[in-house]
Amino acid sequence: MEAKKILLILLLPFLAACGSREEPDQKVAETQSQAGAAAQYPKTLFTSEALQVQQISEHAYVHISYLSTNDFGKVPCNGMIVVNGDKAIVFDATTKDSTSKVLIQWIRSELKANPVALVATHFHEDCLGGAKAFMAEAIPTYAGNKTIAMTKEKHLFVPEHGFDSSHIFTINGEEVIARYFGAGHTKDNTVGYFAKDAVLFGGCLVKELEADKGYLDDADEAAWPATIARVKQAYPDLKLVIPGHGAIGGKALLDYTQQLFTPKESK
């Protein structure tokens, strides 16, 4: 009997160790499941010569259309779609009305959502070129008041609704934010943020990694780094960043853009 007790005491650490193995295995399974969910994005859902749509998170999509330019050739231009249930917010129109019409129809038929707002993030053609198609479909159009002033001055399409520093849209209980942080690519550029998926649409305020400075005719290079710093401070938990042109990424795009426009003597 005494020998059995001694044997049991000796085996207890081993039995405890064996019993504890289940928890690490569960953690591994959870990690693998999370990695699998992340690995499914980005996912291309629609492709044509004029338009592409990629899903980048559970609720966020990138639409890509093309702008022909003299200095940079055929340029792919990004916009963002946020969908929650049967409602969608679109940041930046495509470059042409005909392409925007296709995009609107695709959102309705494939995502089963109705666009309830278009937000133009600045006054350039890559944001507003296809905006009239949204108005034709009775979709309200929004922009910062600085953008609206610029469109009036330059006799461009004028969005119907303006805001000063920010505007919050609520789609089925979730907030989508349009916000102005300061000048950069233009004096009026705003960004979009969807906290549920931690996705930032930086638009042309944000550069893809390894990009050059690009088109600067309307830029405020001196203000640009400080504007990016304010975006980083406002959204420290963001995971995905969509630039105005090129590949999506993470916070590194903000760091890269800030460094790109910081004078060398200040770095």
Instruction: Give pLDDT, residue 9.
Output: 44
Q: How far apart are CA 49 and CA 20, in angstroms?
A: 56
Can you give the pLDDT of all 267 residues of the chain as single tens digits?
Answer: 454 444 444 444 444 444 444 444 444 444 344 445 556 899 999 999 999 999 999 999 999 999 998 888 899 999 999 999 999 999 999 999 999 999 999 999 999 999 999 999 999 999 999 999 999 999 999 999 999 999 999 999 999 999 999 999 999 999 999 999 999 999 999 999 999 999 999 999 999 999 999 999 999 999 999 999 999 999 999 999 999 999 999 999 999 999 999 998 755
Domains of the chain from N-terminus onward: 44-266 (3.60.15.10)
Tokens of 251: 């916070």
pTM of the shown model: 0.86
Render pLDDT for 134-172 as a digit per residue (tens, 0 to 9): 999 999 999 999 999 999 999 999 999 999 999 999 999
Q: Which residue do the tokens 């330019």 mark?
A: 69
Beta bridge partners of 63: 53, 79
HEC per residue, the chain? CHHHHHHHHHHHHHHHHHHHCHHHHHHHHHHHHHHHHHHCCCEEEEECCCEEEEECCCCEEEEEEEEEECCCEEEEEEEEEEEECCEEEEECCCCCHHHHHHHHHHHHHHCCCEEEEEEECCCCHHHHCCCHHHHHCCCCEEEEHHHHHHHHHCCCCCCCEEECCEEEEEECCEEEEEEECCCCCCCCCEEEEECCCCEEEEECCCCCCCCCCCCCCCCCCCCHHHHHHHHHHHCCCCCEEEECCCCCECCHHHHHHHHHCCCHHHC
Q: How far apart are CA 97 and CA 239, in angstroms?
A: 31
